[in-house]
Amino acid sequence: MRVTLFGTRGSIPAPGPETTRYGGNTPAVEVRAKNGAMLAFDAGTGIRRLGAQVSPATARIDILLTHLHMDHIQGLGFFGPLYDPAIEVHIWGPASSTLSLEARLSRYLSPPLFPVHLRDLPSVACHQIPSPPFDIGPFHIETSLVCHPGPTVGYRVEGDGGVVAYMCDHEPALCLHNGRWPGREWISGFDLAVGVDLLIHDAQYTDEEYERYLGWGHSTYRHAFEFAAQVGAKQIVPFHHDPSHDDEMLDRLHENAVRRIKPDFAVSHGREGAVFDVGLKS
């Protein structure tokens, strides 16, 4: 699988000269199998550019939404393939206890917030998760609800001999007991991320910010690294960067976390445009 980051920013787009290296687009990640099958994690503003690069030969795209906070769906209406009747677009995401996924998405994809109704798009199907594991082409996908305000899922995708977990908005540190990580059955998202080749994980806050925003559903670099160690991930990509953190600050947070924690797994920068090959090489 080839994993490409098209948007790595959390909360709100943060374009500008100070964010050119990590990028200002909100979450969108492409996962492409060797046979050309394609998934997209989330539909933040990064998905507009992702959609512009879709080959005309593509017949189907599956968008896996983690949740419906604005930064994760804001780009959906600007995803070109939605308007191409030749391309089937399947949108997967969580329902709420009272509204279907389609009804929830329609709150955004309808006037006055958006000129086009979701129901008027030519070839779109919505699927509610979490659900039992399912397959999309060469991908085997597991989902479960994770710790973040409102219904939010994490994903584990296996394909081409590799495994990637995507947990972009996640606060597993809320599961700590007296500052210590509990047994695996009490850690949010553990089963999704255990032993993965690549873990894309929330690292929005500094330690100081986390004190102010505890319970808001996000992690620090330290929490992300500790979670990766708990699950035995082989590589982590810190993700969902705070919009107020510029490139220099993100470099510093990354370097400090690596120096302090000395992870025994690979750590890669969560920069827009970064590409990761996971599993068997083509």
Tell me which residues touch another protein (CB under 8 A): 94-97, 128, 144-147, 151, 174-175, 177, 184-191
Residue with Cβ nearer another protein (50 or 192): 192
Nearer to another protein, 136 or 193 (CB): 193
SS3 99: coil
Nearer Cβ to another protein (35/134): 134
Q: Tell me whether residue 13 or residue 94 sits nearer to another protein (CB atom).
A: 94
Yes or no: say if 194 and 35 are a contact pair by the CB < 8 Å rule: no
Residue 148 beta carbon to another protein: minimum distance, rounded to whole angstroms: 9
Nearest-approach distance from CB 202 to another protein, in angstroms: 15
* 221-231 helix and 247-261 helix, angle to the nearest 10 degrees: 50
Q: How far is the CB of 117 from another protein (least distance, A)?
A: 25
Pick 31 or 73: Cβ nearer another protein: 73
- Using DSSP's 3-state secondary structure scheme, residue 82 falls into helix
Other beta carbons less than 10 A from residue 132's beta carbon? 7
**Residue 27: is the preceding peptide bond cis (ω within 30°)?**
no
For 10, phi then psi, to 5°, come to: -100, 160
Least distance (Å) between residue 151 CB and another protein = 5
Query: Is residue 17 a contact partner of residue 245, using CB atoms and an 8 Å limit?
Result: no
Using the minimum distance from each CB to another protein, give the nearer residue, 192 or 250.
192
Minimum Å distance from CB 15 to another protein? 33
Quickly tell me which residue has 């200002």 as its tokens: 24
What burial class does residue 191 get, using C-beta atoms within 10 Å of its C-beta: 0-12 exposed, 13-18 middle, 19+ buried?
middle
> From the CB of 64, what's the least distance to another protein, in Å?
17
Least spacing, CB of residue 91 vs another protein, in Å: 17
CB 34 within 8 A of CB 277: no
3-state SS assignment for residue 250:
helix
Nearer to another protein, 104 or 241 (CB): 104
Residues in the chain: 282
